Amino acid sequence: MTRWTPQGTSRGTVAVLPGRGETPALYERFGRRLAADGYTVVVPEPGSGPGEWFEPGAARFLAGTDTGALQAWQWALDIELDGLILAGTPLAVGARPADRTEEIGVRTSCPVHRELLENDPDFGWGLLTGAPEPPERLPEVPVLLLHGDADTVAPVAPVAALAARLPQSSLAVFKDGVHDVLNDQHHRSAAARIVLFCEEIAKGAVVLPEVPKPRRSAPVQVSARVDYSLRALRELAGSAGPVKCAVIARNQRIPLNSLVNLMIELRRAGLVGSQRGCDGGYWLTREAEKITVGEVVRAVDGGVTSVHSGSPDADLWRELDRQVADFLGRVPVVGDR
């Protein structure tokens, strides 16, 4: 088994299933790049199984390119994974290259990788014909799809349609990209997208969309602390047992560090309970319908309004605080409003 390991502690393992004709040596650049970012990368031996691919206790990601993507998809239906990466997935029959020169051209525009293909004595030429059918079931784990918009071997349109059917997916299409997207001219960008995908899942690092800054503060603002807390409580309301912070953060797209601190405050307020250990996590201490938004606001923000010191209208704002608090005290976290 070919393996690239980081110098320090591994942040997780990315197992790569190559496509038609490819050898592990073609993924050395990719493996070294992800290892530099803290991830172990393995290219499994034929006939080996997931028990040999992944390190115990670390995040598990399975990547596949070309027909390896279809194999990875099938594995994802049967084994425990944290994320699935599908690159150059052949969901429709494309053009078959006529000779070696044309095959190199449809595979990669990267001069370094072109030279690797030409000099790899074990590379299998002429195999880009047909492709197995994709699995009938959709994967249930987060999926990252990578594709080139100039891929003539595996047209991009069916992959975009697949992404639209997957609620936990993200699609990155590279302009002028061809089939071997992990080893094409945009290989650095592809690797960077994979690292970001892994970080979001394994470490809870969420990149929020850019929000234009308003010129003036709105008269009424809902803090991110309240928003995150309500999302977390609704996630717990839909769960049968304890739920770990990492799971809540991933499902609700909440920064993990922020969520950990908020859950401590919610526990102190008596809204959630917690348990440590492998089977631990958080749960609601009572039915979600009996927890009000007002309780959540008091637990994490302390109150509804903040009055400017010395304001001559302090009584007005205190009355506003009382009325809004009274209203939020009648609104459940879930249920009829």
Question: So what's the pLDDT on residue 207?
Answer: 59
Tokens representing residue 280 in the block: 């631990």
Phi, psi of 83 (to 5 degrees): -165, 155
Domain that holds residue 244: 224-328
171: pLDDT strictly greater than 80: yes
Q: What is the mean pLDDT of residues 38-59?
A: 91
Q: Of 167, 202, 237, which residue constitutes the final position of a domain?
A: 202
Angle (deg, nearest 10), helices 256-268 and 224-237: 80
Q: Which residues does 14 contact at the CB level (< 8 Å), separation at least 6?
A: 34, 39, 40, 41, 42, 61, 62, 63, 85, 194, 198
Is 217 a member of any domain?
A: no
Q: Give the burial class of 148: count Cβ atoms within 10 A of its Cβ; 0-12 exposed, 13-18 middle, 19 or more buried.
A: buried
121: pLDDT strictly greater than 90: yes
Q: What is the mean pLDDT of residues 68-92?
A: 95
131: pLDDT strictly greater than 90: no
Tally the C-alpha atoms within 13 A of residue 46's C-alpha that lie toward its C-beta: 4
140: pLDDT strictly greater than 60: yes
208: pLDDT strictly greater than 80: no
Question: So what's the pLDDT on residue 220?
Answer: 66
Q: pLDDT band for position 326 (50/70/90)?
A: confident
Q: Count of domains in the chain?
A: 2
Q: What is the mean pLDDT of residues 258-283?
A: 86
**pTM for the full model?**
0.65
CATH number of the domain to which 248 belongs:
1.10.10.10
Question: So what's the pLDDT on residue 57?
Answer: 82
Residues 24, 140: one domain?
A: yes
Q: pLDDT band for position 210 (50/70/90)?
A: low
Residues 191, 232: one domain?
A: no
Measure the N-to-C terminal CA separation of the chain; round to a whole number of Å.
Answer: 57
Q: What is the mean pLDDT of residues 294-314?
A: 78
Is 219 a member of any domain?
A: no
311: pLDDT strictly greater than 80: no
Question: So what's the pLDDT on residue 203?
Answer: 64
CA 192 to mean position of chain CA atoms: 13
CATH number of the domain to which 28 belongs:
3.40.50.1820
